[in-house]
Amino acid sequence: MTRVAICLPDYGFDPTEAAIPFEYLTNKGWDIEIITQDGKEPQCDQRMISGMLSTVMGAKQPAKAAYQLLSSSASFKNPKAWTAAGFSLLDYDVLILPGGHDKGVKQIIENESLRVHLAKFFPLTKDVSDDLNRKKKVCGAIWHVFLPILERISHH
């Protein structure tokens, strides 16, 4: 079974960018785990769900329904911690990095522990030619700010 890690900050992520991939891959039968810094249940940017901003650039009804599915899942309520001893993104086939507009998303961008995990994972998204017969990894960085981060760590 394909294993997927969705890394989220404690708060401020875009519910559409997290929930739509979660719903789609769940419907495909993939095993999805939510990963946060310390294993705390994350909170989306509530402005994308309700209020004035939501009418302009917020989540549309299908994304809100997908967010209900995501936020009620066991993995969302009890996420794994990327800072936990023994945790490795290499245990996953696919990594999804949703973004957001809230300052809470900086936790994903600036966290050194996560960068260490990304530096090990990201090179495996390229063709791997070795005797270990490793499977190529996939990274879906939905938010454009991740591109310079991923590019920088791919050269290490």
pLDDT tens digit string along 25-58? 999 999 999 999 999 999 988 878 776 666 667 6
- Say which residues have a Cβ less than 8 Å from residue 105's Cβ, sequence separation at least 6: 9, 12, 13, 99, 143, 145
Domain that holds residue 45: 3-154
63: domain CATH number is: 3.40.50.880
pLDDT above 70: residue 82: yes
Domain count, the chain: 1
How do strand 94-97 and strand 31-36 relate by DSSP bridges? Answer: unpaired
- Name the DSSP class of 40: P
Contact status, residue 17 vs residue 23, Cβ threshold 8 Å: no
Residue 108, pLDDT score = 84
Residue 94, pLDDT score = 95
Beta bridge partners of 13: 44
Query: Taking all residues of the chain, what is their mean pLDDT, rounded to a whole number?
Result: 85
Which pLDDT tens digit goes with each residue over 106-146? 888 888 899 899 989 988 887 656 556 667 898 888 875 56
